[in-house]
Each structure stands twice: as C-alpha cells, then as structure tokens.
A and B are shown apart, each in its own frame.
Chain A
Amino acid sequence: MKKLGNCIRAELIKLFERRKYKIIIMLPAVYCLIVGAYSIAIKTRFQIGVTNIPLSVLSVCNNVIMPLMALLLAADLFAGEQEGKTIKSLLTRPVSRSCIYFGKIVSIMIYLIISYGMTLFVALIMSAFSGNFTAFGLGTCFASYILSILPMFAVVIVTGFLSQIARSPSVTIILGVLASAAMGLIGTLLPQFYGMMLTSHTGFYKLFMGSTFSMYTIMTSLGMLLGYGLVFYVVGDVLFNRRDY
C-alpha cells in the first residue's frame, strides 16, 4: 500500500509540475464559466436560459471533455513515457510493474476528480448568480458529480489499455477517438448493442434521477462498467508487465 502511495505521489508530481496540465485541469471549469455567463446574459435579456447549469455542463464533461482529458493523460503517462524511455526510471525502482500501472491509473483518476470538483464549484457559483439555486438542486448536483466518477474510472482504464496497444501518444489519442466514434456509431446503427457500448454509460448519474429510476437498469449499467473496468484493466496490466523496455 505504501509503495502504491509512492507511485501515485510520483505521478502527481509529474502531472502538476507541467504547465500544460495545470491549464488543462481547469478547462471544464472554464467551459462551465462560459456556459454560466452566457446563460445569465440571455436570462437577463430574454427571461430564458439554462435551467440547471451544473447538470448541463456535467453532460458535456462526461461525454466529451473528461474522456479527452483521460486520453491525453494516458497518452502522456503511459505511451509517452514508454516512447521517451523515461518509464525506465520507474521500472528500475523497488516496485512491481503492476503497482506502477495501477498508480498511473489512480493518479489520472485523482486528476479528473480534482477537475470535477473545480467544475462543480464554478457551476454552483454560476447557478447562484443565475438564481437557480435550491437545497434539493445542490444535493442532486453533488450526487451527480460523484456518480460520474464511476463511469470515468472505466474510461480511464480503457484509455490505459489503449496506450498499451498504441505505443505512442499520438496513436493512443487517435485510437481513443476512433474507438469512441465506433461505439457511438454501433450504438446508433445497431440499437440492440447500444447498452453494451461504454459511451452509453457515461451518463450513469441520470439513472438515479426522477421517473427514470430503475434498480434493474442501474445494476445492468453498473455491471457493464465493472465488466469494462475489470477486463481492460487486466489486459492492460498484462501487456504492461510483458513488455520489454
């Protein structure tokens, strides 16, 4: 456990020392700021606007921004280090390869969770300014953001796997985008397979809302996410362990 903690700390130092990642972590919050400002502006003028800024922003974050950030992080922390051979500095330390692999996955997740937190914070402030702020809404927002972490964990694991088969950062990103597009296309053309696509589970938090609440649907979605996570984690870990450096 201590070794895993050391791996995570080392990865986080690498991430937060880079200007690029100091900026990228704020992108969802900046997007939220723009949406919120726009919503307040049109509400003032036309009396219409986005009714729930945190949830509107969350949907875009879960489907586009966060998966792209996960892809970029995996491309750098896995494929980038393997291509640049800096991975040797970790592999020659007294720690197992599995621990390094898991440490990288967890550190990407921590980075995304911080970004979710920043986005929620900005979203709530914008909601307060727009006058759509209730105690019930606050609870729903918190729950939705927390529930969004689960599918994102599966997304991060899949991006980790992609970086193992891609071997270079640019190919990792291309593969990720293609995989996402392919899943979207299959889900549209073959609706019977829609529920099997990872992209259809990024809105996991919506299953807990209002009249759509169904324990069966929640358990099915949870099962799919766990399945994706376990399968791609194991295969990614095996590939990482087997490789020569």
Chain B
Amino acid sequence: MNVLEVNNIKRRYKNGRGVSEISMELEEGGIYGLLGANGSGKTTIMKIISGLTKKDEGNVKIFGNDIDEDIATALSKVGVLIETPALYEYLSAEKNLEIAAKFYDSVTQDDIKDILLKVGLLKYQTGKKDLVRHYSLGMKQRLGIALALISKPGFVILDEPFNGLDIDGMVEMRNIIKHEAMENKTSFLISSHLSHELELICTKVGVIHEGRQISVASMDEVRKSYPSLEDYYISCAEKADRLAEEERKGGAL
C-alpha cells in the first residue's frame, strides 16, 4: 500500500492562480521532492494533502484513508510543517511540544526531550522558561520540525524545511530526514526551491511549474540523464514554457 496517493487534484483561487492535474504516489520510506519556483503551487499542494486547504477536484489518500471521509484518521500518522512553523511564541519549546503531544496516545515526556535533542534545540536552551518569542529564525524552524516529528509519524510533509537554517542546521536536518527514512521507513514529501538540497536526499522528484506537475522522475533517472537536478529542472521548465508558447500561437491562428 502506498503511503500517499494523490489523484488529479485541482484548486483554483479567485485570482486565477492555483494548481491542477496534480497526481503523485509515495511508497514507504520514500522521499518525494517538490521542486519549483516561488508561487508555482508547491505549498498549495501540501496544504491540500494535509487538509488545510480545500480542493475543487480529485482525491487524496494517506495510508489508504481518504482525507474527505475522515481527516482525523488520515492525519493520525502524519507530521506537518507548512510555511512558517505554527508556534505559540508565548510558550516554551517544551510547552509547544506538550500541546502537540496531547493529540497522541503514545507520546511521553521522554519523547519530548528526545526530539528536542534530535533537532539540536537542547543546546540552545537556557532554561524551562525560555520562550519561543526569543528564538532565532533557525531555532523556530528546528522546533517546527520537532513538532512535525513528535508523534513518530509514518509520513511527514515539510514545506521548505531548510528555511532559516545555517549550514550546520541544514546538514543536521538532511541527516535527520535520511535517518528517519532509512531506519524508521518514514516517508517524506518535501518542497524546496533549493535543488541541491533535494538532490541530496530525495528518491523521487516532481517539478511544479505554474500550478502543474510537468515532470516526475526518480533521482536515479535524473542523475543518469542530467548533470544535476538543477539542469533537470531548467530543462523541464523551458520545455513547458515552449509548449505553452506553441499552444498560444496555435490558438491565435
């Protein structure tokens, strides 16, 4: 059974932007990268999958559970970090994690300490009353990732997880993702405009261009045909632009 099945989802906003004809499948332990320019629709796709945004058409199944039928069950083994981390800034990192832990039966106080250690937040903390509002951007990002991983989910959605992280942080995050995927068979859906980062961790990559997924390939296929993921992306985007231009010209005639 696939961890994630997305079939032909579509969402059009009032301003004409949105996404359409998006389909994807993700197997256990796989890391699916969504690569695209700013505003291409990556976040919208992730919001639809996690139930934050409604879709106009199509369906999404997570571990076989349709999000339209029972979102609570569908999200029971999912961790999410979309856009900026959703943090209560007037609370400490522990309290933020405690609130998240309330929604799961299996999360213990030790798990909270473990995850803080894993994402490298413990070394920055000066005390229990260390409020999130005093955190740097990178620390908030680490806590956002801790919140996504606190329930030991089988599937994690990370939108631009490397935002705000320094070089050490990016390496640590990459290692966490790889470790979770290899050791715990956790599947990831990761969006980024940093092709190099995706190239280092993904098993599969989808290129999102102007609201549509114009190409999907395994990383092995990409490496065989292109010098880098960046070249693959540019080639896909140029091809899509060329086709769109030809369609426009055909329509004008």
Contact = CB atoms under 8 A, between A and B. Distances in A.
Chain B associates with chain A: yes
A97 B72 CA distance: 9
Interface string B71-82: 111011010101
A92 interface: yes
B47 A244 contact: yes
A76 to B, nearest CB: 11
Given A13-B99, A14-B88, A87-B86, A93 B75 contact: yes
B99 A14 contact: yes
Chain A CB count within 10 A is highest, among B71, B75, B99, B104, for B99
Nearest to A92: B80
A91 B51 contact: yes
A96 interface: yes
Contact of B53 (A3, A14, A245): A245
A3 B102 CA distance: 9
B180 interface: no
B52 A245 contact: yes
Interface string B93-104: 001101110111
Contact of A14 (B50, B73, B80, B91): B91
B86 A89 contact: yes
A95 B73 CA distance: 8
A88 B87 contact: no
Given A93-B100, A94-B73, A94-B103, A88 B86 contact: yes
Nearest to B91: A17
Contacts of A18: 90
A10 B47 contact: no
B147 interface: yes
Contacts of A3: 72, 103
B91 A244 contact: no
Contacts of A86: 86-88
A226 B99 CA distance: 32
Contacts of B90: 17-18
Contact of A92 (B51, B73, B87): B51
Contact of A244 (B54, B73, B98, B147): B54
A82 to B, nearest CB: 11
Interface string B171-211: 00000000000000000000000000000000000000000
B95 A17 contact: yes
Interface string A197-212: 0000000000000000
Interface string A207-221: 000000000000000
A13 B72 contact: no
A180 to B, nearest CB: 28
B76 A92 contact: no
B83 interface: yes
A6 to B, nearest CB: 5
Contacts of A6: 102-103
B72 A96 contact: yes
The 3 closest A-B pairs by CB, nearest first: A89-B86, A92-B80, A88-B86
Interface of B: 47, 50-54, 71-73, 75-76, 78, 80, 82-84, 86-88, 90-91, 95-96, 98-100, 102-104, 147
5 contacts: A6-B103, A17-B91, A92-B50, A93-B103, A244-B54
Given A93-B100, A94-B104, 8 more contacts: A10-B99, A89-B100, A91-B50, A92-B50, A93-B75, A95-B72, A244-B53, A245-B52
